[in-house]
Structure 1
């Protein structure tokens, strides 16, 4: 399938380009055109900022269960592999829509609408997601953001000088992964105070997972110079991930998580799932602000 044209929105301080395939943020650039997102080097990972719906993480055996029926579902769900419809656009905002179809119902037997609105105001990009249950029965789902930011940022400071600073204390140990599943164990937190000094060695066992996360924002950047503030008021978990040696780091606000080791229950029993009543809409947002 030919790739659709990117949709660009901008102010004088910030510009964003979104791919209708996945409604995925693909470029985020400052006033001088410097790229703040991943270089998407295929040697590491070609994603940019996929939207994770209706699951976050991987299911055991890539199988989802609803009322005793098994459905195939790949890691992080199908939204990132779906073509959204551009339903509204102006110079500073764009709205994308994904609705259920015969294809989505082969993996997820629910009637839904997933609306994603990108808006730039000054130096802030807001991504506002609305998940609507159009079924006559409850709709179980998860949702997550997965943006990959340039590491290092394009301001001439070394990769080793970059860190992520949490807004609040995060005293608990982190979730531990076994393969792609969540184990019952925990790993020690690598934070020094509220600061995560970025280093490839942190990611040899995959993502760092705060569950719960107490902060609703973090700042990412070098110890001096421009920073990115990432706000996530609606998500109770946070993943931070890269592949060692890659030129990106992902800051991933999640409302959902991978299956626990050995989990074989119904989707409604899966950790991190929320359930929408018929006609209900869940709003989940994040914002990225360039602070010079």
Structure 2
């Protein structure tokens, strides 16, 4: 079911499946792309309880093997509508028998979308309802609309002048890195940057970045509690995904042990961890 809210001149639509943002606009200007399945069938999926691909799509925990697909399962489930006001809407996903069979933790995941005067804020809240420490990763995957030639766009980083990118091979880290030198902190976009999948930054200094169209700022994206970043598109696709993450894919030499996997959050019983993304329309 699709839920819509509008406040002042900003409107959003969120699909209860995956609590996925499928539309975000101010007036006639749209910031989230319209799905074209020739390229991709998503707009802004939630990545939980893993980010990226596990080696052999499985992991081991307490001597037992579990299978889990890339980016986890939350995006495939219907979330429950918690509340809806004139400028905010919240959705919740709880563990169930099916999730417990592949991820043996009890949890509560809440996404809240709030339209602010500057744009949109998305809050993510994860609560561990298990008796044991819960291991998870979480990430966002919004696809920002591209409506002219891709090369007319750029990404300006707050602080970074050099990107240390960890390269993927078959959606796992190969152990190879490459360095992309920025032009006055600006990454000028072209499809060749994504020949080997996403640009993945395990470390970067910026707390926000701004997408430019020509020389005009389009939207500023800020991260709270997301220490990692993916940037992704497909050749000729009319979008650029800005993906703040806490966690990332396995290495090709991964042991498969979840307790030693890089980028996992270890959340004690009955505790909560919060994350947020801000989209500021320029």
How far does residue 158 in structure 1 lie from its aligned partner after superposition?
Answer: 4.2
Residue 138 of structure 1: aligned partner:
133
- The structure 1 residue matched to 2:54, chosen from 40, 52, 59, is 59
C-alpha contact 1:138 1:275 (8 A) present in aligned 2: yes
Give the 3-state SS of the residue equivalent to 2:75 in structure 1. helix
Per-residue CA shift, 1:85-134, capped at 9, x if unaligned?
Answer: 00100121001000000010011000100011110011321110110001
C-alpha contact 1:163 1:195 (8 A) present in aligned 2: yes
- Establish whether residue 159 from structure 1 lines up as the match of residue 150 from structure 2: yes
Residue 13 of structure 1: aligned partner:
9
- How does the TM-score come out when normalised to structure 2? 0.96
How far does residue 9 in structure 1 lie from its aligned partner after superposition?
Answer: 1.8
C-alpha contact 1:13 1:123 (8 A) present in aligned 2: no
Residue 221 of structure 2: aligned partner:
230
How far does residue 224 in structure 1 lie from its aligned partner after superposition?
Answer: 3.2
Q: Matched residues in 2 for 1:159 and 1:289: separation?
A: 21
Per-residue CA shift, 1:6-62, capped at 9, x if unaligned?
Answer: 111222231110001000000011123x32111211111011000000000000111
Q: Matched residues in 2 for 1:214 and 1:204: separation?
A: 25
Give the 3-state SS of the residue equivalent to 1:249 in structure 2. strand
Residue 181 of structure 1: aligned partner:
172
Matches within 5 A, 1:250-261: 250-261=241-252
Gaps of 5+ in 2: none
C-alpha contact 2:121 2:277 (8 A) present in aligned 1: yes
- Establish whether residue 204 from structure 1 lines up as the match of residue 183 from structure 2: no
C-alpha contact 2:132 2:268 (8 A) present in aligned 1: yes
Matches within 5 A, 1:78-93: 78-93=73-88
Q: Matched residues in 2 for 1:244 and 1:250: separation?
A: 13
* Pairwise CA RMSD: 1.3
Gaps of 5+ in 1: none
Residue 103 of structure 2: aligned partner:
108
Q: 1:72 to 1:212 in 2, by over 3 A?
A: same
C-alpha contact 2:135 2:265 (8 A) present in aligned 1: yes
Give the 3-state SS of the residue equivalent to 1:118 in structure 2. strand
- The structure 2 residue matched to 1:216, chosen from 196, 207, 211, is 207
How far does residue 273 in structure 1 lie from its aligned partner after superposition?
Answer: 0.3
- How does the TM-score come out when normalised to structure 1? 0.93
Q: Matched residues in 2 for 1:170 and 1:127: separation?
A: 27
- Establish whether residue 117 from structure 1 lines up as the match of residue 108 from structure 2: no
C-alpha contact 2:162 2:179 (8 A) present in aligned 1: no
Give the 3-state SS of the residue equivalent to 2:99 in structure 1. helix
Deviates more, 1:166-175 or 1:22-31: 166-175
Q: Matched residues in 1 for 2:4 and 2:136: separation?
A: 29
Q: How many residue pairs align between the two structures?
A: 282
